[in-house]
Structure 1
């Protein structure tokens, strides 16, 4: 059981969930590209060494092997850093998994600016954009340990390709495991409000929750919504919340181009034009530095979110 408030990295949740699934399903095979200690698939390797395959530093080859396994009725999870799983590997994911719509799951860890000292080359800020552009790909970005483990289970149950995004940084557990329910394609209203709709994903969800308290102290009633599924997006919830508040903010540890903000704007511009502010990485590369300092510098911490949303709400 997860403890509320305890800090756990979602990559750790990924490794633990794989073990949970491995006990139930003998068709589950985990492939890694020489990063099992970092991606936490090493937890699965310890429990099921015969079903953990280390392919070495060869992500494209790993993807091809997984595609082959899927055609034989296995359910492979391939794992690497997001920069490699989605970036270096894009052609293979597109053509070997996406095009034939094979039942392969992609566990991408170390996503976003919070990778920290690894710097710009490893801080993948484009993966959600890349993956949501692949036809038939489900894209999940869980916010805490409870949600991350639930997302891995849901990915296994879903027949077809799934991209799962996990972080390096330990983040607070805020979902209650006893009552939490995960459903692909369904957002979660964490707090109802009337002045502005705040759609957040991944690491940014808890920061949005903290920002909401600061906004409330200023008399701003923000609706906070956790969007754990970037694709398929919960269109009904987006439209309903935007209609209620008339102003929308999106928050993501990803480029403002092509991720959650773009997905929300696609729906609103077509079906319900609404004023939107996108909070994310503003078309720049990251840099090396402590994760928490980078989150603050790039405006993804609760205080920065509070200040931006407050100014946005007060605009005419």
Structure 2
């Protein structure tokens, strides 16, 4: 693909120097239905772009395309849940949380509906600008009572969450990773646990608290910082709600400085809930906040946008190095 070109809707971003898995969500949903036999999958005319066709092909009588109508998607799912089904929904996060917010809140969460929304294009994972980039979705969903909110890091976690989602009570909002999804965590040893943060490393100079794909960036940045003499550790918080407040407080107390990193605006998402947790625990630490600024983001290629707004491993490393006053060149 020519440098700077924006990926088309159906094109998959390449994954360089990293193992990857295709369609981890669909594989997890298939595994869930093979165990439970009560899963139905619905989409709002975006089956191709949310990786649900493998499920459709395996269970054609459990798949429904409601057309380009997100409100109908959610209400049909809520109705199916009332008749004993566990309804998995897929669409883009911007459509789910903006167009269908009231339906997720009232038709689903308010009544404890067994609906699991898997929402694609989280943050800056699409080049199609403010209309398609779900940059404030975690804040919107976190504010809904009785809503579970999850932001997975990689293919391993995405597949495990899809497989486990039916076991989670009530309504779930999970960001969807699709296409060529990097494998960061070893599927043989890693286990997603709802509401539990996972620590990687024991460095105490810097403590990264991250969610979603920013955990991969923070792990890479921590390795670079180690070559600069900065010892860092990473706490991955896949579950935004219910949040592991005790785990975050314990982690923050063990490091000198804290860096939060999220593929989301810095209002209402991970950074906000971390600050709440630390305030409640009476912990005060120097903090660097990495995330999307309070603005709608322009169109552009995914690599360009992630670099411009500081969401690459190199930009994370350089931001921390500048903050600490050390030389990033030492990591090259």
What TM-score do the two structures reach when normalised by structure 2? 0.89
- Verify the 8 A CA contact 1:114 1:169 in the aligned structure 2: no
Separation of aligned partners in 2, 1:200 and 1:124: 18
DSSP-derived class of the 1:80 partner: strand
Residue number among 5, 27, 35 corresponding to 1:16 in the alignment: 27
Aligned to 1:29: 40
Runs of 4+ in 1 over 6 A off after TM superposition: none
Separation of aligned partners in 1, 2:28 and 2:211: 20
Residue 313 (structure 1) shift: 3.8
282-291 or 250-259: bigger deviation: 282-291
How many residues were matched structurally? 309
Residue number among 20, 27, 33 corresponding to 1:7 in the alignment: 20
Aligned to 1:126: 136
Aligned to 2:296: 285
DSSP-derived class of the 1:134 partner: coil
Aligned to 1:190: 200
Q: CA 1:34–1:105 in structure 2 vs 1: closer, same or farther (change >3 Å)?
A: same
> Which structure shows the bigger proportion of residues in helix conformation?
1
- Verify the 8 A CA contact 2:158 2:177 in the aligned structure 1: no
Aligned to 2:218: 208
DSSP-derived class of the 1:114 partner: coil
Residue 168 (structure 1) shift: 4.8
DSSP-derived class of the 2:225 partner: helix
Residue 169 (structure 1) shift: 6.3
Q: CA 1:206–1:214 in structure 2 vs 1: closer, same or farther (change >3 Å)?
A: same
Residue 32 (structure 1) shift: 0.6
Q: CA 1:195–1:285 in structure 2 vs 1: closer, same or farther (change >3 Å)?
A: same
Aligned to 1:52: 63
**Root-mean-square deviation (Å):** 1.6
Q: CA 1:169–1:308 in structure 2 vs 1: closer, same or farther (change >3 Å)?
A: farther
Separation of aligned partners in 1, 2:177 and 2:156: 14
Q: CA 1:165–1:132 in structure 2 vs 1: closer, same or farther (change >3 Å)?
A: same
- Verify the 8 A CA contact 1:114 1:292 in the aligned structure 2: no
Name stretches of at least 5 consecutive residues in structure 1 with no aligned partner: none
| 1:38 pairs with 2:49 | yes
- Verify the 8 A CA contact 1:172 1:206 in the aligned structure 2: no
| 1:177 pairs with 2:208 | no
DSSP-derived class of the 1:202 partner: coil
Residue number among 258, 275, 278 corresponding to 2:268 in the alignment: 258
Residue 150 (structure 1) shift: 0.8
Show CA shifts across 1:193-247 (max 9, x none): 1112101111111111111111111111111111111111111211111111132
